[in-house]
Amino acid sequence: MDPVTERMVADVLAGEFRAIARLITLVENGAPAAIPALQELFPHTGRCVSVGITGAPGAGKSTLVDQLAGHYRALGEKVGIIAVDPTSPFTGGAILGDRIRMQSRSLDSGTFIRSMATRGNLGGLARATADVLLVLDAAGFDIVLIETVGVGQDEVEIARTAQVTLVLLVPGMGDDVQTMKAGIMEIGDVFVINKADHAGVERVEAELESLLAISSRQDGWKPPVVRTVATEGKGIDACARAIQSWRESQKQSAFQLEKRIQIQKERLLELVHAKIVRSLLRDQRTFGRLDELARRVVERGIDPFSAAEVLLAAWEAQRSH
């Protein structure tokens, strides 16, 4: 490892924010220099708890994250916050608000806050998030809170990188609970009804409970439902307790271990996939053939399956040299 990377790794292990930020930028940009650093850091990981917080735009995720951060800070824990997709059209207006709100937190040396832009590449972002978690874990953070906006499949992927996922609902969603079912209900380990100071709490809670009653999870966990008023700090303790009880229940769980192995398997295949593609494209001739083949497929001169075979053959020929 070059001395610069070595120095950075040592600084990350010492918990230095500047080094952490620098390495995260490398991870985000997919810089090859990040790999040896992550390899070096990996043996120092495995202690940190990651919590995904997801829900509709404006549900109060940032406010809740801020409150939870305060809760864990009061217990003396080091807290990392990752806000994913602050540049989405939904949140554009909230960035400034987030900044102001989180400023008090960021002055505190025990809290590290980082925004991650999606740049239209959510698959890559889920992977990058996992690597950022690795960095923060190695840097000695006890808990990392990951805020993701939305209810789509891509957010599900990001949420899967966290150990426990909180799904935020708000009163007045009506039938939305039903429509949310497909994407997000399965990933919720804890359901939080935020803005419990608004009318309609009972209704959304009843709908949620009835949905939860008919859906049984393979791991046998019954997701608790917690009410919060994030702006007033109400229900934060209950929220933290729900996270804690989930953790306790999963420690001994063989199912949970299987799930983590499954996720790891996908991640390893993604890495291999990315590496093969990179290696394939590194060869200028193969790269040139990609252009040529794509054009021929469009012109119907070759079918895409055969074209893929041609590329793979070129890659294999290149490797055997």
Q: Given the rule CB under 6 A, which residues bind ligand GTP?
A: 57-63, 90-91, 94, 97, 149, 194-195, 197-198, 229-231
User: What three-state secondary structure class fits 50?
Assistant: strand
Residue with the CB atom nearest Mg ion in the bound state: 62
Query: Which of 50, 54, 62, 129 is close enough to bind Mg ion by CB under 5 A?
Result: 62
Residues in the chain, how many? 321
- Long-range contacts (CB closer than 8 Å, 24 or more residues apart) made by 211-220: 211/177, 211/178, 211/181, 211/185, 215/185, 215/186, 217/186, 218/255, 219/250, 219/253, 219/255, 219/256, 219/259, 220/255
How far apart CA 240 and CA 226 sit, in angstroms, is: 10
Buried b (16+ CB within 10 A) or exposed e, 193-209: bbbbeeeebeebbebbe
Q: Which of 306, 321, 314, 309 is nearest to 288 (CA)?
A: 314
Q: Closest separation between CB of residue 114 and ligand GTP, Å?
A: 15
Rounded to 10°, the helix 61-74/236-251 angle is 80
Q: Closest separation between CB of residue 269 and ligand GTP, Å?
A: 32
User: Is residue 161 close enough to count as binding Mg ion by CB under 5 A?
Assistant: no
Q: Is the Cβ of residue 91 or residue 165 nearer to ligand GTP in the bound state?
A: 91
Q: Which does 195 bind (CB under 5 to 8 A by kind): Mg ion, ligand GTP, none?
A: ligand GTP
Q: Which does 197 bind (CB under 5 to 8 A by kind): Mg ion, ligand GTP, none?
A: ligand GTP
DSSP state of 195: -
Q: Is the Cβ of residue 97 or residue 172 nearer to Mg ion in the bound state?
A: 97
Q: Closest separation between CB of residue 61 and ligand GTP, Å?
A: 3
Q: Which does 60 bind (CB under 5 to 8 A by kind): ligand GTP, Mg ion, none?
A: ligand GTP
Q: Which does 229 bind (CB under 5 to 8 A by kind): ligand GTP, Mg ion, none?
A: ligand GTP
Paired tokens of 290: 């990609």
How far apart CA 190 and CA 224 sit, in angstroms, is: 5
Q: Closest separation between CB of residue 58 and ligand GTP, Å?
A: 5
Q: Is the Cβ of residue 55 or residue 223 nearer to Mg ion in the bound state?
A: 55
Residue with the CB atom nearest ligand GTP in the bound state: 60
Q: Closest separation between CB of residue 65 and ligand GTP, Å?
A: 7
Q: Is the Cβ of residue 63 or residue 165 nearer to ligand GTP in the bound state?
A: 63
How far apart CA 307 and CA 256 sit, in angstroms, is: 41
Q: Is the Cβ of residue 226 or residue 311 nearer to ligand GTP in the bound state?
A: 226
Q: Is the Cβ of residue 62 or residue 161 nearer to Mg ion in the bound state?
A: 62
**Half-sphere exposure of 298 toward its Cβ, with a 13 Å CA cutoff?**
6
Q: Closest separation between CB of residue 98 and ligand GTP, Å?
A: 6
Rounded to 10°, the helix 3-13/34-41 angle is 40
Q: Is the Cβ of residue 34 or residue 53 nearer to ligand GTP in the bound state?
A: 53
Q: Closest separation between CB of residue 64 and ligand GTP, Å?
A: 7
> How is the beta sheet containing 225-227 ordered, strand by strand?
111-116, 79-84, 143-149, 49-55, 164-169, 190-193, 225-227
Chain positions contacting Mg ion, by CB under 5 A: 61-62
